Chain A
Amino acid sequence: MPTVFTLRVNGTARSVRVEPATPLLYVLRNDLKLSGAKFGCGQSQCGACSVLIDGMERRSCVYPVGAVGKGTITTIEGLGTPQRPSALQRAFILEQACQCGYCSNGMIMAAQALLARNPKPSESEVKRALEGHLCRCGAHNRIVRAVLRASKGALP
């Protein structure tokens, strides 16, 4: 039965009327026009769809909208814009840390969650935090360098 949900997304309350079982990913992308989270597998295997709910990384492709409740959702759009990227996004830009960039959303959101709980991670801690995220173009080392750069505040 379609139900009205009021979601707190990137600091704004947004209402949608959908089936409670609808994966959050489709609500974000299709109803709220937030296309930063990507569909990659729909099975919580690749990480391209990651968002933060109350600061925790969640796979929105399998997360029912009905389970969000009062949770605070942060998507990549909530971090910064092309004109005003966040420090983390800027670090990714400086390291040119992608090829196709399709996995970047998940990488950045996982890094955001990591840096919130561990502002000075080691290289192996960064890799461990990203282990559940797949990249096919082979940008892994640049991604790790970007997260470390952001953690060191080594930004111009």
Chain B
Amino acid sequence: MTAALRNVSRRNVLKAGAGLVVGIAFAPLLAPAQGSETPLHLPGSLNGNRLLSAWLRVNSNGTVTVFTGKVELGQGIASALAQIAADELDVGYRRINMVTADTSLTPDEGFTAGSQSIEQSGTALRFACAEARQMLLAAAAARLGGQSGDLRVADGTISAPGGKHTTYWAVTTDAMLRREATAKARPKAAGEHTLIGQNLARRDIPPKFTGGAAYVQDLRLPGMVHARVGRPPVPRADLVSLDTAALKAMPGVIEVVRDGSFVAVVCEREEQAINALVALRELAVWSRPELPPTLIDTFDRPEPELQTQNSVVYEKTAPDAPIAVRQIEARYTRAFQLHASIGPSCAVAHDLDGKLTVWTHSQGVFALRSDIARALGMSPASVVCIHMEGAGCYGHNGADDAAFDAALLARAIPGRPVRVQWMRDDEFMWEPYGSAMSMKVGAGLGADGNIVDWRHELWSYPHARRPGGREGVNLLAAWYLAAPLQPAFPVDVPQPNGGSDRNAIPLYDFPNQKILKHYMPDAPLRTSSLRTLGAYANVFAIESLMDETCAAAGADPVEFRLRHLRDERARTVIESAARQSGWRPGALGDGGRGTGSTFRGRGIGFARYKNHACYCAVVAEVEVDRISGIVRVTRAWSAVDAGLAINPDGIANQIEGGMIQSASWTLKEALKVDRSGVHTKSWIDYPILRFSEVPAVEVEVIQRPTEDSLGVGEGAQGPTGAAIANAFAAATGRRLRDIPFLPERVKAALAPL
């Protein structure tokens, strides 16, 4: 257990927004809607799903069924939401049964993405359960006599002062919660919580460690057949010819389904499907279109020259600000990077009497249903999408595409459930990638050593191409059909969340700021949402230039950051991370001096994710081998403030996992791609951090019982990459500005040493 807990008194905490330049002005409003005709604005996802019965059912058998439109991705959300419901209702955690995203059962809460589940679903559940509790108490008061305010509840048993008692299970009725929420019953205040804030064990874990069927990959239905899809060798290739008769003659092949350039084999047994896929790949003749050049081909030039949509993301000027006396500018880049989940995407679909059921690890079952129905010309009512867990999900991976593959094949083979399992190379070559990015950042330093001007210019492909748009079909196979369907035009996610420009606006109090975006919707490779969207690269760039400017100002990186930050919660995480690490100004690293084979150094990185979710600061310690060029992160410390922490160990798990994943991105990961196509096909081509390379990690969760809970799942990615970059500079006196920090880049940076 590495999570250290600390309560911070409220006295230091500014009212939200008071110390912030940006973000808060756009923060989601919880205020009532104006005018009496418009319905009251309800908190969190309650606003879009207003019936109490959509969120919970209190059962006469002593259990509570809780519905959420969010999905379990291994982030422990189903457990945390159960924890919230149990606490607000005053029932045991074990009495809660969770039903997660299912288009036929649960509320539509959009995507489980952007670290928003606790903010959206958790908030809805707190209010819905508080209101249900109030109604159950009113019913109990009527039965027991007296005032509901005098009643006490313990694990669903309701006691009156005179000793009379009843239970939720006795007073509940089917009709009770079938009404619209009012949000008038206040959730528990800080100090009243019994389960919120506790490190309860996650419920999804025991089956995962004992071989219980936990994932969609494990679903086995009677009569189920196994399919593999023969994907093109390069994007946009056409299937010129295929000897389907030869394939059909293979053992176990039930059908070869071809529609244009979409082709799949469907077999009785899984190994037969794999063998048939191998044969298909040998037999199929494809066109070989060349990939257009991408952003990464421009990394060696000062300005990328590509077709872009340009816009000003944010601009702030302070006419009375001091004049800059010194300009610091640098360009930073990030390669295309991958989700690279350990388990390739999978789905099962069953077309029975015109009704299509799809089991999927999609992050958005309602959006998926919408696109599947549109693509197949079905009514959404005849398509059911049910979420089941898949392997690690860090954004928009192949889940939706595999689901549509299965849906297409189920329609071709009605009556039998069809399981589609992507192979390892399918996932590497066809998952939507994290966009390569380029960031040109500049700072103007005043005579007093403070930053007065800040410019951030970024180039990026889309970060949001999920299904669920008003038009188009964002499902891979749909673009390869004989009558191909078009994808939706990829619009960048607007601020305050931002897409390519997520976290491009610094949280620091720089008087003059200008943030420019060069967005490239026309991407040669499909890019979409990978954990943090643009934030990882933007924070890497901002925090790197902060240190470069800090060095020019001759300041200490921690002090320099604090000097530019009035937000107390931001300051607290930076101070906490520095304190944990034993930060010593002036002694941050070897600076490229010394005769040993290894340079050591420490660096810090900070961000508030999306400028309105959790605050996170990371200190990283690195060792750089000057001969091999290998960078190792040896230790890392983090402090995170996610407001009211529902499950501190769950937060620590997310942050430490995020730190390790971000270290992997930063040190090792880049898609191999050139004009002839993608060459990342196996783990040999895409190494990730291994046990021997993983740093020791410590996470301090700052508990703030009186603050709203803030999303945390992506909080560590940006600060960690930045901390590693800054630690490298402290170690070597040189700077790496291109992610990943591969040995050849390190050796080039150290060359004259």
Chain A residues with a Cβ under 8 A of chain B: 18-19, 21-23, 26, 29-30, 33-43, 45-46, 48, 75-77, 79-82, 85, 89, 92-93, 96, 98-105, 108, 127-128, 130-131, 133-142, 144
Name A79's contact: one of B210, B220, B694 (CB within 8 Å): B210
Given contacts A38-B391, A41-B424, A93-B209, 12 further A-B contacts (CB under 8 A): A35-B211, A38-B342, A40-B343, A77-B210, A92-B209, A98-B208, A103-B342, A108-B209, A130-B691, A131-B691, A138-B661, A140-B691
What B residues does A140 contact at CB under 8 A?
A: 660, 689, 691, 694
Does the CB pair B688–A141 fall under 8 Å? Answer: no
| Distance in angstroms between the alpha carbons of A135 and B657 in the assembled complex | 10
Q: Is the interface of B mostly helix, strand, loop or mixed?
A: loop
With CB as the reference atom, state the residue of chain A lying closest to B659. Answer: A138
| Distance in angstroms between the alpha carbons of A137 and B664 in the assembled complex | 11
With CB as the reference atom, state the residue of chain B lying closest to A133. Answer: B691
Q: Which of B42-50, B157-165, B199-207 makes up part of the contact surface?
A: B199-207
What A residues does B423 contact at CB under 8 A?
A: 42
Name B683's contact: one of A41, A108, A127, A130 (CB within 8 Å): A41
| Distance in angstroms between the alpha carbons of A45 and B684 in the assembled complex | 8
Does the CB pair A102–B653 fall under 8 Å? Answer: no
Kindly identify, within residues 183 to 206 of chain B, every residue whose CB is under 8 Å from any CB belonging to chain A: 201-202, 204-206
Name A80's contact: one of B210, B214, B270, B659 (CB within 8 Å): B210
Does the CB pair A89–B210 fall under 8 Å? Answer: yes
What B residues does A136 contact at CB under 8 A?
A: 340-342, 391-392, 394, 661, 688
Does the CB pair B694–A137 fall under 8 Å? Answer: no
Chain B residues with a Cβ under 8 A of chain A: 2, 73-76, 201-202, 204-215, 217-218, 220, 251, 269-271, 274, 340-344, 389-394, 421, 423-424, 649, 653-654, 656-661, 664, 682-684, 688-692, 694, 696-697
Distance in angstroms from B666 CB to nearest chain A CB is 13
Distance in angstroms from A142 CB to nearest chain B CB is 7
Given contacts A48-B342, A104-B209, A105-B211, contact A138 B201 (CB under 8 A): no
7 A-B residue pairings within 8 Å (CB atoms): A76-B209, A85-B206, A89-B210, A101-B204, A105-B211, A130-B691, A139-B653
Name A100's contact: one of B220, B392, B658, B690 (CB within 8 Å): B392
What A residues does B683 contact at CB under 8 A?
A: 41, 43, 45-46, 134
| Distance in angstroms between the alpha carbons of A34 and B654 in the assembled complex | 29
| Distance in angstroms between the alpha carbons of A37 and B428 in the assembled complex | 21
| Distance in angstroms between the alpha carbons of A77 and B214 in the assembled complex | 13
| Distance in angstroms between the alpha carbons of A102 and B388 in the assembled complex | 13
Does the CB pair B690–A39 fall under 8 Å? Answer: no
What B residues does A45 contact at CB under 8 A?
A: 424, 682-684
| Distance in angstroms between the alpha carbons of A43 and B682 in the assembled complex | 8
Name B209's contact: one of A38, A101, A133 (CB within 8 Å): A101
| Distance in angstroms between the alpha carbons of A130 and B692 in the assembled complex | 9
What A residues does B649 contact at CB under 8 A?
A: 96
What A residues does B212 contact at CB under 8 A?
A: 36, 82
What B residues does A42 contact at CB under 8 A?
A: 274, 423-424
| Distance in angstroms between the alpha carbons of A128 and B694 in the assembled complex | 12
What B residues does A127 contact at CB under 8 A?
A: 691-692
Name B389's contact: one of A93, A100, A103 (CB within 8 Å): A100
What A residues does B664 contact at CB under 8 A?
A: 138
Name B690's contact: one of A38, A75, A134 (CB within 8 Å): A134
With CB as the reference atom, state the residue of chain B lying closest to A77. Answer: B211
Name B342's contact: one of A34, A46, A80, A93 (CB within 8 Å): A46
